[in-house]
Amino acid sequence: MASQAFMDKMQLRQNYRNLWHTDLLHTIQADTPYCCLAFFCAPCVSYLLRKRALYDDMSRYTCCAGYMPCSGRCGESKCPEFCLCTEVFLCFGNSVASTRFLLQDEFNIQTTQCDNCIIGFMFCLQQLACIFSIVAMIVGSQEISEASQLLNLLSDLVYCTVCACMQTQHKIEMDKRDGKFGDRPMAVPPFQQMSRFDQAVPPAVGYPPAQPYGYPPQGSYPPPGTYPPPGYPK
């Protein structure tokens, strides 16, 4: 029952209308220095991004942003900084994913098919490397063992690269949110609206809802019976 409810909540993200400001393929071009920093100092960057996603208010912090069974049970309210440090070093992958979900749920951001393919390829490569390692251990073949080592190295490299691009994507999105380019900065949402994973219908916070292309905003047409306007030749 719990797993089904979790899957239902995950499906809600498929209906989000906004897109990331930069997709995973172009994050390196968008901010090369930060992408390199995220590659070589991944846990530190994950710490800074989560804190920034919480608007630098650590009283909002919950382990893994409330998306894991351990969330809220790790003493976060007593020492949130220490708990976040523990999360980003011991559960780095979950820390990156949790920050991503937090931003998606706050601003109605969907994940494009291209981003899904990149993330899926990363997971598949890790699983394949694990299978090769098990086969090499059972068979005892030197060739298979060397192939599994190469595959493990490749999967680690892809994992680190994708995580760095993902964190750069989050940073660029928060630059947009904070008004570092483009529109003015957005107001800090109330605490209960920071994570909207457990809400069936997301409240109107963050980005304005997308308007259908080619249609004027609602309310732009005159009410019935007022067209043509007075004085306009029929």
Q: What is the DSSP letter of 229?
A: P
Q: Which residues of the chain have pLDDT under 70?
A: 1-10, 182-234
Q: What is the per-residue pLDDT for 73?
A: 78
Q: What is the per-residue pLDDT for 227?
A: 47
Cβ neighbours of residue 155 closer than 8 Å, sequence gap 6 or more: 122, 125, 126, 128, 129
- Please state, in angstroms and rounded to a whole number, the distance separating the CA atoms of residues 84 and 61: 8
- Ramachandran area for residue 94 (φ above 0: left; ψ -120 to 50: alpha; else beta): alpha
Q: What is the per-residue pLDDT for 7?
A: 67
Q: What is the per-residue pLDDT for 197?
A: 44
Q: What is the per-residue pLDDT for 34?
A: 96
Q: What is the pLDDT of residues 127-141, one digit of tens each?
A: 998 898 888 888 888
- Please state, in angstroms and rounded to a whole number, the distance separating the CA atoms of residues 24 and 30: 10
Helices 142-177 and 42-53, axial angle in degrees (round to 10): 30
